[in-house]
């Protein structure tokens, strides 16, 4: 099989048989054709080397495509299997970035943001670290949503400080984790600079504060006594099915990942991808298998 046919075939089958040694040949296909292989070559470049493997002309093509799509782009729920997010009252993206230590941002579409969130949730370009790139929504029904593994209240210790400061500056802020394959639920709720509730189904011993009204109603409906963190395993599953992170988020702010997504959200602004200055040299899409822009 010649290189052109190999690239076309590999783009449809998870990029098997390709490696980084082919980057120069893939760039040549992007420049010189044949036309039938140019799209597959672009996807292969992104998979093997990420966005920094692209020639300036291809980077400009992607930016132009994003700008073309943004005026009619509509937000939608994003379920990336392993979902971690913040919700912050109000729509001050720049202030949220300052609190999270993110100095860089770029326009995005929701589809590209979903690509990023799903990729990072599965380890990103290197699963030995937590990536700080996030998708930041515009104002959605009065709330801004920040998606990314670094927002996980179960595993990322900096999140508690973020929620405290964001709630102090904006009134209310929350952090959530939802594993859509039964990998657990967690929520961390801040109001006016104070953590009022922390709950984790995976780490119940870390739970603090009184159960939220939505938790209390679920416990009563199921006939269960005591806070969720003290439930036996047999009853815990019943509880989180009815009162998991998506349901709590829908009650307190906005559920961005599951069935609680508002059918016609009021939108002000545009989404961005943001990251810290220290990660300027990271090619964050390297290793990604499925691309949406």
The overall pTM is greater than 0.75: yes
Count of helix runs (H) and strand runs (E) in the chain: 10, 10
CA 208 to chain centre: 26
Beta-ladder partners of 83: 178
| Predicted pLDDT at 253 | 97
Q: Given this model, what pLDDT does residue 276 score?
A: 97
Residue 193 CA to residue 187 CA, distance in Å, equals 16
pLDDT number for residue 1: 64
Mean pLDDT by 10 residues, the chain (293 residues): 87 89 95 94 95 95 95 91 96 97 97 94 91 97 97 97 98 96 94 98 96 97 93 91 96 91 91 97 93 84
Region at 184 (left for phi over 0; alpha for psi -120 to 50; beta for the rest):
left
Residues in contact with 41: Cβ distance below 8 Å, sequence separation at least 6, in sequence order = 7, 26, 27, 29, 30
């Amino acid at each position: 099989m010649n290189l052109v046919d190999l690239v076309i075939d590999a783009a449809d089958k998870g990029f098997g048989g390709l490696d980084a040694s082919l980057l120069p040949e893939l760039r040549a296909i992007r420049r010189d054709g044949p036309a039938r292989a140019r799209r597959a070559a672009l996807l292969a470049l992104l998979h093997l080397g990420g966005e920094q493997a692209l020639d300036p002309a291809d980077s400009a093509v992607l930016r132009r495509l994003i700008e073309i799509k943004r005026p009619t782009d509509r937000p939608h729920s994003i379920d990336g299997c392993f979902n971690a997010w913040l919700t912050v009252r109000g729509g001050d993206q720049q202030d949220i970035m300052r609190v999270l230590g993110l100095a860089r941002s770029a326009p995005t579409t929701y589809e590209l943001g979903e690509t990023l969130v799903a990729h990072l949730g599965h380890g990103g370009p290197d699963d030995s670290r937590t990536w700080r790139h996030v998708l930041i929504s515009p104002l959605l029904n009065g709330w801004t949503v920040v998606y990314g593994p670094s927002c996980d209240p179960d595993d990322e210790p900096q999140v508690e400080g973020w929620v405290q400061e964001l709630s102090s500056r904006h009134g209310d802020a929350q952090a959530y984790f939802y594993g859509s394959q039964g990998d657990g639920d967690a929520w961390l709720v801040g109001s006016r600079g104070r953590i009022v509730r922390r709950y984790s189904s995976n780490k119940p011993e870390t739970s603090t504060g009184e159960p939220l009204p939505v938790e209390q109603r679920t416990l009563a409906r199921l006939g269960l006594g005591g806070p969720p963190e003290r439930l036996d395993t047999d009853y815990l599953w019943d509880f989180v099915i009815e009162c998991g992170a998506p349901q709590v988020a829908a009650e307190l702010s906005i559920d961005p990942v599951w069935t609680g997504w508002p059918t016609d959200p009021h939108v002000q602004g545009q989404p961005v991808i943001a990251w810290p200055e220290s990660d300027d040299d990271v090619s964050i899409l390297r290793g990604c298998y499925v691309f949406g822009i």
